[in-house]
Chains A and B, each alone.
Chain A
Amino acid sequence: MPHAPPCIALFLFAGGALAWACSKETSDTTGVTAPHQGWFREITAVSGLDFVQSSGSTGRHYLPETSAGGVALFDSENDGDLDLYLLNGAVLSPDPVEEEGRQNRFYRQTSPLFFEDHTAASGLGDRGYGMGAAIGDIDNDGDRDLLVTNFGPDRLYVNDGTGSFSERSAGITTRGFSSSAAFFDYDRDGFLDLYVGVYVEFDPEKPCFDSTGNSEYCGPSAFPPVADALFHNRDGVFEDVSVEAGLHAATGAALGVLCADLDEDGWQDVYVANDGYVNRLWNNQHDGTFVDEALFQGVALNMNGQPEAGMGVIAADFDGDLRLDLFVTHLREETNTLYLNQGSGVGFVDSSGQLGVGAASIPYTGFGTVAVDFDHDQDLDIAVANGSVLRGKRRSNVQLADPWALYAEPNLLFINGGQGRFYEASELASEFCELPEISRGLAAGDLDGDGDMDLLLGNIEGPARLFENVLATKDPRHPKGHWLQVRCLHPEWKRDAIGARVIVRCGDVRTLRTIGGGSSYLSFQPSVAHFGLGQAERVDEIIVHWPDGLVERFAGMDADRRVELVHGTGENE
C-alpha cells in the first residue's frame, strides 16, 4: 500500500488527538521549524554518547546474545543530574570470555545533555556478559550502588559517594542467566533487599531452527525453567532467602521484574513477567514470605487464559483510579497486555483490546517499556522498545547489516487519551519510533532538567540512543503543560524511599505515581515521581504513602519544580 502522508496516517491510526497534531503542523505560521519530527529529538550524536552494544555473536545463536541490552539512568554522585550506564555483551565460547575493550560503559553528565566516558575512573567497566542493571543505596550511606546482572556471575558495585565504585560480593550469589533485578525493602527494616529474575538454564549445545529450517535463537522452552532469587539485606550484606521466602519451587523464565505495593496493604509485592510461562505475583505476607497470587489476581495469563512471552513490565496507574495497573510487553503475534486493576477482591482484568494497546503491538516483539506523562496532560503515555528474537521481514529503512537487519523493528508510542484509552501514535515520535533496530532496554528520566521526561534506549548490535523530549519546552506550537517532580527521602535511611506511593491533587484531579521498585526490561530509571499537571499552575496537596506504612500530607505548592519531601515532616493522615 502506498504510504499516505503523515497527516492522514495519523488520522487513520489514532483519530482525534492526532488530528489535532496534524492541524498544528499545517497551521504553523510561526516560521519556527524544528529539524526533527514530533515529540522527541535524538541527541545521541551531540551528547558525547558513543556506546555501541556488541552481542559477541559468533553465529552460533547463543540465547544471551539476543536477550541483553539493558540501560540505566541514575545520579551517580548526587550532583543533581543523570548519568548513563550501558550494558555490553562478550564473546561466548560458550562461557563469556572477558576481553579488554569489551565492557559495560559509564557516562557522566558533565554539562547539560553532554556526557563523557568515565568508565575507567568509575570502576564500572564490568567485562562479564552484561544483561541489566539495578540501582539502590544498599548501605544507606546516601549514594547509589549498582548491581550488574550478567549471563554469568552478577556483580555488585558499591559507590564511595563520589561516583567511584568498587566491586563487592556482599553475598550476592546468582551466577546463571540473570535478567532484570530490583531493589526494594520487603520486610520494612530500612535496608533495600534485592530480587533477581533468572531466565533459563541455558545449554549452548541445544540447536534451534526457525520455521523454514534456518538455525535460529532458541526460545525459553528449549531449556529448563529456573527459580528466581531473593536476597535479604542486613546492614549492607545480602543473604539468599529464596527458600525461606517460598520462591524456590516456582520456576519460570523471568525477564521483567518490578516491586510495588500492588494490593495497597503497605507492603511491597513483586511481579515477574515470565517468557512463555505463567507470570508470578508474589504477594508479601508481612512475615518474610511470599505467596504467588498471579492466577487468582488475573495477571498470570492473558485474557484467553494463555501464558505469553513476558518481557518488560510496568506498574502504573493508567486509568487514573489511583490503583496500580500492570503492563507487560510481549512477543510478535501476541499483544502487549494491560492488566487493569479493579481493586481489592477483584484483582486485574486483561483490558488490552479495549484500551487500545493490544492490536498495534501484534507485529512486534516488545521489550523495554516506560509509562510517562510525556505531554504533561495528567495521564501516562507508554513507549515500547521493540526488536525481534527471530528473523523476520527486512524493513525498508533498516540500517543494520545482515543478519541483524532481519531482527530489527520500529518502536512504538501510545498516547493516553484519558481514562487509560490509548492510541498508537508513533508518527508523533518518529525519531524514537521509525528507525528499525533491535531495541531492548528503555529508561526515562529528566536528562536536561527542563521538567519533562527524556529517553535512553539500548539496542543490541547497535548504538545506545538518547532522545530529548521537546514537546513541552521547545515547540512553541504546543502550550506548555506544567509539571512537578517529587523525590521522597527518608532521613534515617539517607536515601530515596523506594516503594513510596505519591498522590498529587490539583483541584478534583488526583494522580498517583510511585517511587522506584524496578520496571521496564533490564533497565533502571530514576526514583522520582514525575507528574504532568496540564494547565494547573499549582498543586493543592501531596499525599505520600511511605514504604514503612506512614501516610503524610504535604501542603500545596507551585508547579514546575522539583521538590524533595522528607519522611516525618508532613502532616499525619
Chain B
Amino acid sequence: MTSSRKKARRLERKARREKEKAQIASQRAGETAQPQVDRPKHGWLVVVAAAVAIGGWSYFQDPAKPDADGVAVPGEAPAIPAPPPADMTVPVRRMIREARAAVEQDPTSPRTWGQLGEVFDAHHLFDDAAICYREACRLSRGSAPDEFRWSYLLATVLNSAGGSSAEEIFALFARAMALEPDYPPGHVRQGDAFVRQGKNAQARSAFERAIALDPDFAMAHRNLGQVLLADGEIEAAISHLEAAARYDTSDSVVHASLARAFRLNGQEARAQEAADKASSFAPVFGVPDPIRFSVEALAVDPLTLNDRIDERMGGGDIAGALGDLELLEESFPDDANVLERIGVMRFKAGSKDAALTTFERALKLDEHLHESHLHLAAIYDEKKNFDKALEHYSHVAEEEPKNPSLHVRIAYLLLAQDKIELAVESFERAFQHGLDDAELHHNWGAALDRIDRTEEAVGHFEKVLEVEPENGGTHFNLGMALERLGRNARAIEHYDKAAALAPNLPAARRAAALRAGG
C-alpha cells in the first residue's frame, strides 16, 4: 500500500470514528427522553450533581476507565483469571492451564493475553474472556492487526454475554472496524449489535458497508432485509431478502422473512411459497466469520468435540475425527461408547491392531457393545483366529438372533474350522430369518454335500440356478453332486454348462471322464 493511500485510509478511519462518536453522542442525547412521571423541580439538579460527584468518585476507584473512544481500558494489568477448577474435563483444563502459563511467562504480550481470552471465549467463559481481551487491547495499542483482533473479539463477547453498556460495545466495534474496515463479517456483527439495542439506522449502515465490500454476502443482505422489514420498507426488504436467498438458497430464516415481507406486500401466493420453503430448510445461525470460527475451533468440550467429530466424519477426515475422539476419551476415560467410536475410527484408518486393543478395552467396560464385537470378529477373522472371531460373532448373534447375515458369517467361520454340521445349522438359521439368496443356497448346498447330505445339496444348487442360470460354479457343484448320486447324464449336462460358463473349473475333464464311462 502506498503511503498516500495509507494516509487517506487513516483519515477515513479518523473521520469514521468521529462520525460514529457523534452518532453515539446524539443517540445518548436522544435517549434522555424519559418516563413521564411527576418530578420535583429540583430533582434533576440533585441527581445531576450526585451523578457528577459519584461518577467522578467511581472513575477514580475503577481501574477500567473509558478512553477517548468510550472503551473501558484497565489502568493496570488485571490478575490472570483463576486456574481452571477440577470439574472441567481434562482437555479443557489443560488448554486453559497452558494458555495461562503463557501469560505468566510473558505478561506484557497482547498475544498471550488474547490467546488466553480465546480459550475462555471458546468455552463460553465470557467474563474471563473479556478480562483477557481487554488487557490484550490495552497492550496492543498502536499495533493495528493485533488491536483489531482483540477489540473485535472483546466487542463480540460483550455483545453476546450482555451486562456491558451499549455505548462500550458500539465503541469497541467502531474502533475495531476503523482498524480493519475491509472485514465484511465485522460490519455484519456490528450491525447485529446495533439491532440488539434498537439502533436500526446504524444497523442498516453497517450492513450496507458489508454489502459494499462483498455484494454476495448472503447474511448481510438477510440482516439488512430484516431491519428494513421491521422499519416497514417492504419493497427494499424484499429486494435484499431475495438477494440473500440467491446467495444462500437453503436458509430457512431468509424464506421466513420473505414470507412475512410478501404477505405485507400483498403477494399471498409468493408468501405461501416462501413459508413452505422456510419449513423445509434449517435456519442458518451465526455470521460466517473466520475470526470467530478460529476461536470456536479451539473448543475441546464434549459437545463441541461430538459435533466436530460428526462434521469431520461427514467430510471424510478420519485422522481429524480420531484426534477429537482421543480428546473425548481423555474427557471420559471410562466411557465404553467413546472407546468403541475410537476403535471404529482406527479400524477405518487401517490401524487394525490399535483398533483391536481399543475394542477389547471397550468390551471390558461394557460387554454388550455391538460394533466392538462385530469389528473384533472381522479383525480376528482376518488374522485367521477363527475361534475368537466366532466368539464375537456369536455374542452379537445372541443379542440379534434374527439377523441372518450374522448367521452366515458364523457359518463361514465354522466352515473354515471344518465344523461343517454346525455351519449347516447356521445356514439354516439364516434362511429361517429371511435370507434366501443364491449365495446362501450355493454355500449351504456345498456344506451339505461335504457331509454327504447330497440329495439336499442338489435341491439348494437347483434353487441357485433358478435365479442364476448362468452361475458356472453352481453348475459344476451340482454336476459333482449328481455324479455322486449316480445321475451321470444330468451331471454331464451341468458339467458342460459349467465348462462353457467357467472354463477355469475342471468341468470339461469331469464331463469327458463320465462320457468315457469313468
Contact = CB atoms under 8 A, between A and B. Distances in A.
A20 B40 contact: yes
A7 B123 contact: no
Interface stretch (B191-199, B483-491, B504-512): B191-199
B35 A17 contact: yes
B7 interface: no
B87 to A, nearest CB: 5
Given A7-B50, A212-B92, A213-B331, A295 B278 contact: yes
A2 B196 contact: no
B260 A347 contact: yes
Interface string A285-328: 00000000001111011011111000000000000000000000
Interface string A12-25: 10011101101110
Interface string A394-436: 0000000000000000000001111001010000000000000
A386 B199 CA distance: 26
A353 B38 contact: no
Nearest to B44: A19
A349 interface: yes
B259 A358 contact: no
Contact of A296 (B38, B200, B263, B302): B263
Interface string B11-45: 00000000000000000000111111111101110
Contact of A362 (B50, B91, B162, B278): B162
Contacts of B222: 305
Contacts of A297: 260
Interface string B260-303: 10011000000100010010000101000000000000010111
Given A213-B301, A301-B253, A350-B230, A4 B88 contact: no
Interface string A501-535: 00000000000000000000000000000000000
A289 to B, nearest CB: 17
A569 interface: no
Q: Which of the listed residues A213, A303, A417, A421 has the most CB atoms from chain B within 10 Å of its own CB? A: A213
Given A211-B124, A417-B34, A20 B43 contact: yes
Contacts of B57: 4
B46 A23 contact: yes
Nearest to A415: B35
B264 A305 contact: no
Contact of A359 (B40, B124, B166, B254): B166
A296 B37 contact: no
The number of chain B residues touching the other chain, given as a range, is: 35 or more
A19 B43 contact: yes
B461 to A, nearest CB: 49
Nearest to A361: B162
Given A8-B50, A11-B47, A358-B197, A479 B301 contact: no
B318 interface: no
Given A17-B37, A358-B196, A359-B162, A296 B58 contact: no
B73 interface: no
A347 B192 CA distance: 23
B35 A300 contact: no
Contacts of A361: 162
Contacts of A1: 58, 62, 64
Contacts of B163: 362-363
A242 interface: no
A337 B279 CA distance: 22
Given A303-B230, A418-B35, A27 B299 contact: no
Interface in A322-346: 332-333, 335, 345-346
A29 interface: no
Contacts of A352: 198
A548 interface: no
Contacts of B151: none
Given A4-B54, A22-B46, A214 B88 contact: yes
Contact size range, A? 35 or more
Nearest to A25: B46
B198 A353 contact: yes
Nearest to B244: A305
Contacts of B127: 393
B394 interface: no
Contacts of B161: 333, 362-363
B285 A306 contact: yes
B300 to A, nearest CB: 8
Interface in A351-399: 351-356, 358-364, 377, 393
B256 A347 contact: no
Chain B interface SS verdict (over half)? helix
B196 A296 contact: no
A298 B302 CA distance: 36
Given A12-B51, A352-B198, A393-B127, A4 B38 contact: no
Nearest to A297: B260
B61 interface: yes
A417 B301 contact: no
A345 B42 CA distance: 47
A214 B87 contact: yes
A417 B43 CA distance: 17
Contacts of B275: 295-296
Most buried by A among B32, B58, B166: B58
Contact of A335 (B58, B89, B91, B196): B196
B365 interface: no
B35 A417 contact: yes
A346 B33 CA distance: 28
Contacts of A306: 253, 283, 285
B115 interface: no
Interface in B110-126: 123-125
A303 B36 contact: no
A111 interface: no
A345 B160 CA distance: 34
Contacts of B34: 15-17, 19, 417, 423
A351 B198 contact: yes
Contact of A307 (B87, B283, B303): B283
A81 to B, nearest CB: 31
A354 B198 contact: yes
B51 A353 contact: no
Interface string B124-166: 1101000000000000000000000000000000001111001
B50 A212 contact: no
B86 to A, nearest CB: 10
B47 A19 contact: yes
Interface in B199-228: 199-200, 222-223, 226-227
Given A211-B124, A303-B227, 14 more contacts: A7-B50, A11-B50, A23-B43, A26-B50, A210-B124, A213-B92, A303-B230, A304-B192, A306-B283, A351-B198, A356-B198, A359-B197, A360-B162, A362-B161
13 contacts: A4-B57, A15-B32, A22-B50, A211-B303, A212-B92, A213-B92, A295-B260, A296-B259, A297-B260, A305-B283, A353-B195, A353-B196, A358-B197
> Sorted from nearest, which 3 A-B pairs have the closest CB atoms?
A362-B162, A417-B35, A353-B198
